[in-house]
Chains A and B, each alone.
Chain A
Amino acid sequence: MAQHEAATIVDNGALHAGEIVAHEGGSGFNIHPMDQFIVQPLFSDGAVGMFTLTNAALWMLIVVLCTALLLVLGTRGRSVIPGRAQSVAELAYGFIYKMVEDVTGRDAVKYFPYIMTLFMFIVLANFLALIPMSFSPTSHIAVTAVLALIVFLGVTILGFVLNGASFLRLFWVSSAPLALRPILAIIELVSYFVRPVSHSIRLAGNIMAGHAVLKVFAGFAGALGIFSIVPILAITAIFALEVLVAFIQAYVFTILTCVYLKDALHPHH
């Protein structure tokens, strides 16, 4: 359902943006940077329902398939001298394992599978979205909000299950002077509930902004004729930056999950 609502919002937004450009441009610019985020059903023109196969759903399926292929094929041989797929799979596994160990601690290793799943989904969704004409699921707040909300609810429930009521001491900063603690408690409480918002919007905002910038420069390239070499070179540079951003945002999402998990496991400051 959330997906459907997001689809209609983005749809309206795109039409709105298109109208603005059409009214104000008037000089040959034809830029629709938000059109690429429209969620459309693949096999019909009708409304997007609960089980309609949309382009967003298709690309998420492709991401899951690629993750499974990479990790299953990569770990099937398990040779001493790894091939390409095995190298990548081992690299990703070791990278995330070390991150969980370093940031959250040895006792968090049992939550490693979920964190690894999150990282692989986000990083592959980001990378596959960089293929021209593809669709970027992680640019939708509906998708990232679900990922962030699962982390938020999971961490909160885990915190209460593992620590009982003493999980609330997370908000009672015992190192601060007594007079300041109630004020700090309010600030900590607010910042705790803002976490899923910033967690999800950081990823969606970065990916959406990057893709919109690429489209805007593509629009320049279409309008400038012989001078379009300048925006095309700019697109190349921005694209390289986007590859970097795609990885860093997946990394940041994962490491923040580890940080939040640490609060649930060790709530005492």
Chain B
Amino acid sequence: MRTPLFDRRDFLKAAGASFVAALAPAAQARTAEADALFASAYQNRGGGFGVAILTEQGKIVHSVDLPDRGHDITFDPVSRRSVVFARQPGTFAVVFDHTNKAEPVTIPSVAGRHFFGHGVFSPDGKLLYATENDFDNSEGMIGIYDATDAFRRIGEFPTHGVGPHELLLCPDGKTLAIANGGIETHPDFGAAKLNIPTMKPSLVFVDRETGDLVESHELPPALHKLSIRHMDFDRDGTLWFGCQHEGPATERPALVGRARMGERFELVDLPETALIGLRNYVGSVAANPAAGTVAISSPQGNSLVVLDAVTGAVASVRDLTEVCGIAPDSAGFLASTGTGEIVPPEGSAHSDPHYVWDNHMLRIEG
């Protein structure tokens, strides 16, 4: 099930703390930087699916086979375990650590629900929350799992919308931000979108302890086909979100927005050339808090756009074929592509002919 592992921390431990202490400060900083790892789901050339832990150089240090296609990954720094969620309408999530210490644990969906591909842990690592579909009732749900009890499902609460996609834990540690994409699907009919003419996406804030709806934001009626799907928090705690437009390709709605609980919810205009390059589809959103930037990727537009998180101005636009996975890395972003490349902020891309990368990449601090 698992591939052999070269664990950098084991090396450092073996080398002894004195090895690190003996390094000059600049070298120590580089070590800390290099110690970050990244996680992404993949498909291999043989057609199999899995999830990998990677270095910045694109070297796979650990991988776990998956029964079907994965999507996003979340990490619990307390137990140092990750969870990869099946791509919608998948019915599994797999908990794994990055060493060979424990066998992966598979969390099956309960009857009447499937996963949407995203989830988060509570700050203490004791609970896992996942976006799920109550497909017979077309209602978004958050499934709650007890990480201290073999990830037993202990409850759920509604997302107050249809087709929830990404969810994040707010900086307060208490509230969940949930992107209700608004698109109704049912596993009987594959990926067919069942309600495009009447879809109504929303961004909601929900108290994770009570399930109470704290705030709900909707786009104006003229933009009801703008599916809110991916998000990240910037350095100031502002939530940036990215959208996918389900209306005609000739329409050019704004695709990026930002929100702060109790303060604002707004779309952000991009210059026309950057907007057109996104092809009405934002596949992933990631902030780099240290750099004060936010990146949005579009695999349909083959475009990676970096914004200044304060002004919203475009800092850079990069053409990358089928770019989607993005994660902060030093002063920029590490990106992965559907053609198998791992692209560092600077320097050349790394390509492994055996893998193509799924939509999301997670940074894991060493």
Are A and B co-members of a single complex? no
